[in-house]
């Protein structure tokens, strides 16, 4: 029976539904925590084009590098004793990463002239900013790294630059040549920090594993919030059934490692592991040599303690009342074999490395209140202390 009370209830329900539609859930603040406090007060950057070993074979095309404008052009003399080579992620926004680190340096008491900030810029075909007539570029790569060629052209994994030109260069070779040029141009230089966040963390980790560079400089590698890493054998962490990541649980978990079961046949293929064919640079190093060298390198895993978001799973499991932005988390079965979120993947891998080498050969640094934010990581006190930016 219709009554005015029934009609009023219907009106109220309709109004509530309209209010719900008009007011969608906010984004989860913690997923990218650190961006809001980002300091980009210094905002002048220059792009240098740097000669590479293949420039003569590719019509003079050179590799682009960003630097803060207060710094001399790449290769010009300076009194610097430290260089920070910071790699962008999948957004290929090298200028933004230059801003993250340059402002971190300027916030310390250190003389800015003592630190070179060097920011590689990988361009893919079609990117804004790419001049194909003058610059080296890479073919488009899947953000999660999953490609039929298993990394042969994927810069995240040390793949070669575009096949459209007469010669190509591994993204790892680019880093070699940058460091060699820094060593040659700066006699006072003592130390190089190679740092990357997200996909940049992936390249930093795999470069630390496969690099063949011989240098007088102390080279240190900072691997921040990668979506995946390259395991050194077929073991993976024993994980509970998929769940919403909780940072307190992850931080207190001691992982056991074994070959996983299930239907992910390619979980150990390069670059999630070392099985199967390797891209040119990695193949020239060889897996055995890479494993031997990796344990002797200075590697720091930098983990945002709020980088626990997985948009696909959170929507299904209702992990939060807010909208999850996971910053392009790799949700392949190969990546899920390493952990349910970036924080878990990096914490578990740090434990794996300790068990694999039988000691604390590398370090893990946790950055509180920072999620998937390159600025939050590189402007944190934890990163500054670990990288000894404070002087």
Phi then psi for residue 204, to 5 deg, are: -65, -40
What would the mean pLDDT of 134-143 be, rounded to a whole number?
A: 81
**Share of residues in the chain with pLDDT > 90 (%):** 80
- pLDDT above 90: residue 12: no
Q: What is the CA radius of gyration of the chain?
A: 23
Work out whether strand 236-237 and strand 257-258 pair parallel, antiparallel, or are unpaired: antiparallel
For the four alpha carbons of 244, 250, 254 and 257, in that order, the dihedral sign comes to positive
- Using alpha carbons only, what angle is made at residue 301 by residues 155 and 186, rounded to the nearest 5 degrees? 70
Helix axis angle for 199-210 and 171-185, nearest 10°, is 70
Kindly state whether residue 296 falls inside one of the protein's structural domains: yes
145 CB-near residues (< 8 Å, 6+ apart): 151, 154, 156, 157, 202, 227, 228, 271, 330
pLDDT digits (tens, 9 = 90+) for 64-91: 999 999 999 999 999 999 999 999 999 9
Kindly state whether residue 167 falls inside one of the protein's structural domains: yes
- pLDDT above 60: residue 314: yes
Query: In residues, how long is the chain?
Result: 391
For 66-97, letters b (16+ CB in 10 Å) and e give: bbbeebeebeeebebbbbbbbbbbbebbbbbb
pLDDT at 275: 96
For the four alpha carbons of 88, 93, 96 and 102, in that order, the dihedral sign comes to positive
pLDDT at 165: 94
* Structural domains in the chain (count): 1
pLDDT at 142: 52
pLDDT at 141: 64
The pLDDT confidence band at residue 152, using thresholds 50, 70 and 90, is low
What would the mean pLDDT of 19-35 be, rounded to a whole number?
A: 71
Strands (E) across 100-256 are located at 115-120, 191-197, 218-224, 236-237
Cα–Cα distance for residue pair 346/304, rounded to 1 Å? 10
User: And the tokens for 168?
Assistant: 């190509």
Q: How far apart are the first and last CA of the chain?
A: 80
pLDDT at 147: 47
**Share of residues in the chain with pLDDT > 70 (%):** 91
Phi then psi for residue 323, to 5 deg, are: -90, 125
Any idea which of 18-22, 38-42, 67-71, 223-227 has the lowest mean pLDDT?
18-22
257 CB-near residues (< 8 Å, 6+ apart): 235, 236, 237, 238, 352, 355
Kindly state whether residue 362 falls inside one of the protein's structural domains: yes
pLDDT at 140: 73
CATH number at 215 reads 3.40.50.1820
SS3 (DSSP) at 317: helix
Closest CA to 203 of 164, 173, 232: 173
Closest CA to 272 of 336, 178, 177: 336
Closest CA to 152 of 29, 51, 277, 32: 277
What would the mean pLDDT of 14-38 be, rounded to a whole number?
A: 67
Kindly state whether residue 205 falls inside one of the protein's structural domains: yes
Mean model confidence pLDDT for the chain:
91
The pLDDT confidence band at residue 25, using thresholds 50, 70 and 90, is low
369 CB-near residues (< 8 Å, 6+ apart): 33, 34, 305, 306, 376
For 48-65, letters b (16+ CB in 10 Å) and e give: bbbebebbeebeebbbbb
Q: Which domain range does residue 215 map to?
A: 45-387
pLDDT at 24: 61
pLDDT digits (tens, 9 = 90+) for 348-390: 999 999 999 999 999 999 999 999 999 999 999 999 999 999 8
């Amino acid at each position: 029976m219709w009554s005015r009370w029934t009609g009023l209830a219907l009106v109220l329900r309709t109004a509530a539904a309209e209010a719900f539609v008009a007011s969608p859930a906010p984004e989860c603040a913690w997923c990218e925590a650190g961006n809001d406090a980002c300091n980009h007060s210094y905002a002048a950057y220059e792009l240098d084009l740097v000669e590479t070993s293949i420039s003569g074979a590719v019509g003079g095309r050179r590799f682009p590098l960003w630097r803060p404008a207060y710094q001399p052009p790449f290769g010009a003399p300076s009194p610097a004793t430290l260089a920070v080579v910071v790699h962008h992620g999948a957004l290929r926004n090298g200028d933004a990463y230059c801003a993250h680190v340059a402002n971190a340096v300027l916030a310390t008491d250190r003389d800015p002239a003592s630190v070179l900030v060097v920011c590689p810029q990988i361009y893919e075909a079609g990117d804004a900013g790419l001049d194909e007539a003058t610059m080296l570029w890479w073919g488009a790569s899947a953000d999660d790294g999953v490609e039929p060629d298993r990394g042969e052209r994927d810069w995240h994994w040390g793949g070669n630059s575009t096949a459209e030109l007469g010669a190509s260069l591994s993204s790892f070779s680019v880093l070699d040549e940058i460091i060699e040029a820094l060593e040659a141009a700066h006699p006072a230089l003592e130390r190089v920090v190679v740092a990357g966040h997200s996909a940049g963390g992936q390249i930093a980790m795999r470069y630390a594993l496969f690099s063949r560079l011989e240098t007088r400089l102390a080279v240190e590698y900072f691997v921040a919030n990668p979506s995946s890493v390259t395991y050194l054998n077929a073991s993976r962490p024993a994980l509970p059934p998929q769940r919403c990541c909780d940072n307190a649980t992850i931080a207190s978990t001691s992982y056991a490692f074994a070959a996983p079961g299930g239907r992910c046949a390619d979980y150990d293929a390069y670059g999630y592991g070392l099985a199967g064919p390797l891209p040119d640079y990695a193949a020239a190093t060889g897996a055995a040599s890479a494993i031997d060298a990796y344990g002797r390198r200075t590697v720091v895993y930098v983990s945002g303690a709020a980088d626990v978001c997985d948009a696909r799973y959170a929507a299904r499991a209702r992990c939060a009342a807010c909208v999850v932005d996971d910053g392009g988390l790799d949700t392949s079965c190969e990546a899920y074999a390493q952990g349910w979120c970036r924080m878990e993947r990096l914490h578990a891998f740090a434990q794996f490395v300790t068990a694999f080498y039988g000691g604390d050969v590398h370090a893990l640094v946790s950055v509180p209140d920072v999620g998937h934010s390159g600025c939050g990581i590189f402007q944190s006190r934890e990163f500054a202390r670990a990288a000894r930016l404070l002087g």
